[in-house]
Chains A and B, each alone.
Chain A
């Protein structure tokens, strides 16, 4: 029990200072019926090396995406994380600090969040951003709720190009709030036209760029149609690195941009913790959910940072709060900030270009494989292919050969979506030509 500093002598001294005979006397308010004196079906405490061995054994039963050719994406990507990122986020002053409610002794976290907010605003092309959400999917749900608050309309149109998890989380979080989600059918060919669907009751249209099937689209005309009808355009980005290569959602006229920031500085980690990016036009800032770091001055006129606009938040407004969100993804946001700082303007754009070049390479190779049809004419680092058989079967067969071939669309959308033969394949800067060869050869074999 090496984490517990009190010795039995300490405990005896302290009990006597309190004036009780035993620690049980401090639990007098717990009624007898509420006490548990039995034995838990759990192990006793272990030495550090024993814990390490047990957990390492579990880790060893997984196939690491770093060890085999991997083409998995669909909202979670394996990019290289510079060693500096992980070193800096593990500094105890960042790792073990609390929410920066006492600004005088939290300037490090607050300044980093201010830098994060600025970077998110820059890459999305928006005016302001918050200090992060749980993940991209929950950020998407909060964007729809925010659009309802702004427009006082209660219908959201969700494109069929939006990641199904984002749509599902949005549906879940809107379910009891008088918001109707109009979810479109999967947009496999990237030609869906939503402008005609916008009505007087439309609060927002939610689209994704690149779409879940990979298509890159210009949402400028849709933004115009939204604005003409008094609705907002919410743009989802599930791969933040794409923003280094593609015209930003802000340039296309988006009102709210939400994104998954995992790609920068954060491990795939089997799905979490991730970092939700949330950016908007300045006029909507007081309707934004979540924490915000803001600039101010101290008593001596020196520039400093505080958490601000907290009057929108649950700890002040209780049931009238903008959202119930309390925690953010502070440490993940810090990792994002450090990684993007290391990349800088040139590095960010080069990283994006590398990803795209690898995807173009893979697409050309796959186009030559019998039984594989590349569906997306435009894409960033991920696209959809139609296989001559079940995508799930192909993926399982290739996994048995130590190739992680991608994400079957049916696994995301459910088995009844009619997408059984669709596979999503993603690359990153880490994908090597021999990985692509292995995928093409493997697919050719299992589809033959």
Chain B
């Protein structure tokens, strides 16, 4: 797979328009690696001028900050800002709402000012601009799909419509959950919960959410966040529905239908 890397581009004195920030999940999580590859497939297909940091990328610091380790967060942030400023990065696209939120909202206070775009917005813009044409009808046509709002995309940054527009473009039958948009229910993994066991309670949050998603009767649960992806997949498994119900990222769905 052809993925341009910033260091190589710099060696050729090229400054790509976009940095694709892959994120830790997109780099290491076997499931989300597939999303990174799907997104790259789209970028390559459309001919977007981009590159990734590759080995030079490191955790943006979101889980550290939210767990309370502001020190570690700022160490990470300053390191990343130095790298990105060295390559004179102006625009960043990322498929992770946690990276998106941190780079967009929390890096400016530490000297990192970039235009940061979540891949759902980017995909919507490509579709609107007619740059992504989907195969006649598409494999998702008329399929019942429900979209799980990621807190860090939705409530944290007010992005509710872009992912839904992408699903509309796929001609899918969008079914909303009872708790959606501003009222969306967390998958349970934000605030660094992804990296520890949940506190004692009577239920797991992702089970509650998966139950709600399954109630819509959707065959596909669409997500736009690696944490949500993991949590919803586990939730679906909890109900032993993994044979019937898929959890897919928006980029995977678009990539599958590329003309």
Q: A and B from one assembly?
A: no
Listed in ascending order, the chain B residues whose CB lies under 8 Å from chain A are none
- Could you tell me which A residues sit within 8 Å of B by CB distance? none
